[in-house]
Structure 1
Amino acid sequence: MGESIPNFGQFLEGLRGSMSLREAAKKCGLSHAYIRDLELEKNRSTNEKITPSPGTLKKLSGAYGYPYTELMIKAGHLMEQDVSVSSLSTIQVDLTDVLYIEIGMKEIYCLNQHSRIKKNMDSLKDFIQFLELIDKHDFKKVDTDVYASFQQIRKYDEHLGKLYFDSKGTGLSVTMSEPYQRKYHELIFPQIAKNNRTNLEFTFGNKNSLQTLLSSVD
């Protein structure tokens, strides 16, 4: 790990340029208040210093059109020598049958119906590349260290916040923490309908709440 450049928050504000905070928020999926906190380099509610995580920087990189690796270096998450070495290893794993992934301090566990595969992380570069890989395969973060394959989910227990990988809800499952339940609420049921090859019908209740019904295709 390195050190961030002086006035990194001002640098982020410069990248945003003439784009409004709300426009930036819409492009990167972060709240406009949080983006402003990053620019001021402090949480305005607690007055504590804050530093954007690699995941946050990835979103800002896409929104501002600025190279992700360069942004990681300027934020202090990477050092120049970390990216100048061409022989850095990458984590290789077949994600086809992986249902969910648990990430530890220096290792990654990929779980399917029959096995639990362990992979070691040799560098922060490995970790970042792995996050990019699982994002392409539609894995979503559902808890602090857990990523679930949304292409594999088959049932959702909304009351318990559990995602199941079988339609009966008796097999492997992961539990989503409350913030991610809210984040993916509108995505989960259509995704399950797609995975189960069912029709998704929406009906509105008396209180205008959205109820989701899955009906089998004839």
Structure 2
Amino acid sequence: MQQLEGFGKFLEGLRGKMSLREAAHKSGLSHAYIRDLELERNRSTNEKIKPSPVTLKKLSDAYNFSYTELMEKAGYLEKEEKSESEVEIPFQDVLYIEVSMREITYHTHMSKLNRSVNSLIDFSGFLDKLEEQGFKKMDTDLFVNLQHVQKYAEKEGKLYFDSLGIGKHVVIAAIRQKKYHELIVRSVARNTGMSLGYQFERNSGVETLFPSLKRQI
């Protein structure tokens, strides 16, 4: 695969209004070398140059741009066309995700879908994307979409995706439960339309259909 024609101009566009010295500070590269890359030649020897994968990773971090896409445009990776069976499930439909170094499993209300992890680059980007979409890490290999949690069984450390607590659920790690307890309670209250007071009563083992009346007595 050939480097994208005008790749130097593309890098210059990514830098945008950022000065060369600021780009150098963020990337750890010299400002002179960054400019050479943008011109696609070594100004001392006039030879054409191409950034290495390591250099691209530094620029990716400095410019907050996808490393995978940068590698594709530089000609190091083939751009993969996704077949219909490999189209990603919309994150808003996913209840929770289990991950490993080899496989990603999406769980929805009706099904689960496995996807292989093609590379560490893709995997790293995937984990970043989960955080952006509001998933929280609830165990070593478990990420939960708190927008779908309907019931929180605190004593068992279980999160249910239905209000009756009889359907799909996950068990979260104790250390994560402690860290995200208040966030979970607030999320369940928001998802079910119940008041926080009602949720705290349920989580403490006291459940009533008339929480406001109970407070008045």
**What TM-score, normalized to structure 1?**
0.54
> Among residues 47, 62, 69, which one is paired with 2:61 in the alignment?
69
Match of residue 113 from structure 2: 117
For residues 195 and 108 of structure 2, the distance between their equivalents in structure 1, rounded to whole angstroms, comes to 27
> Among residues 168, 174, 192, which one is paired with 2:170 in the alignment?
174
Do residues 136 (structure 1) and 135 (structure 2) align? no
Conserved 8 A contact 1:199-1:214: no
Please state whether the residue corresponding to 1:141 is helix, strand or coil.
strand
How far apart are 1:93 and its partner, in Å?
2.9
For residues 124 and 217 of structure 1, the distance between their equivalents in structure 2, rounded to whole angstroms, comes to 50
Match of residue 25 from structure 1: none
How far apart are 1:83 and its partner, in Å?
9.2
The 3 A distance-change label for structure 1 pair 86 and 192 is same
In proportion to residue count, which structure has more helix? 2
Q: Give the stretch that moved more between structures: 89-98 or 132-141.
A: 89-98
For residues 196 and 67 of structure 1, the distance between their equivalents in structure 2, rounded to whole angstroms, comes to 44
Do residues 155 (structure 1) and 125 (structure 2) align? no
For residues 142 and 200 of structure 2, the distance between their equivalents in structure 1, rounded to whole angstroms, comes to 33
How far apart are 1:157 and its partner, in Å?
0.7
Match of residue 97 from structure 1: 93
How far apart are 1:69 and its partner, in Å?
3.4
For structure 2, the residue ranges without an aligned partner over 5 or more in a row are 1-25, 27-57, 63-67, 213-217
Q: Give the stretch that moved more between structures: 181-190 or 123-132.
A: 123-132
For residues 136 and 214 of structure 1, the distance between their equivalents in structure 2, rounded to whole angstroms, comes to 36
Q: Deviations over 1:85-107 (max 9, x none)?
A: 36455983322221111112211
Please state whether the residue corresponding to 2:143 is helix, strand or coil.
strand
For structure 1, the residue ranges without an aligned partner over 5 or more in a row are 1-14, 16-65, 71-77
For residues 97 and 203 of structure 1, the distance between their equivalents in structure 2, rounded to whole angstroms, comes to 24
The 3 A distance-change label for structure 1 pair 214 and 138 is farther
Conserved 8 A contact 2:71-2:77: no
In proportion to residue count, which structure has more strand? 1
Conserved 8 A contact 1:142-1:176: yes
Conserved 8 A contact 2:94-2:106: yes
Match of residue 201 from structure 1: 197
Q: Give the stretch that moved more between structures: 190-199 or 131-140.
A: 131-140
Q: CA RMSD in A?
A: 4.0
For residues 113 and 160 of structure 2, the distance between their equivalents in structure 1, rounded to whole angstroms, comes to 20
Q: Please say which structure displays the higher CA radius of gyration.
A: 2
Conserved 8 A contact 1:155-1:168: yes
Q: Deviations over 1:30-89 (max 9, x none)?
A: xxxxxxxxxxxxxxxxxxxxxxxxxxxxxxxxxxxx97736xxxxxxx9x9799536455
The 3 A distance-change label for structure 1 pair 83 and 215 is farther
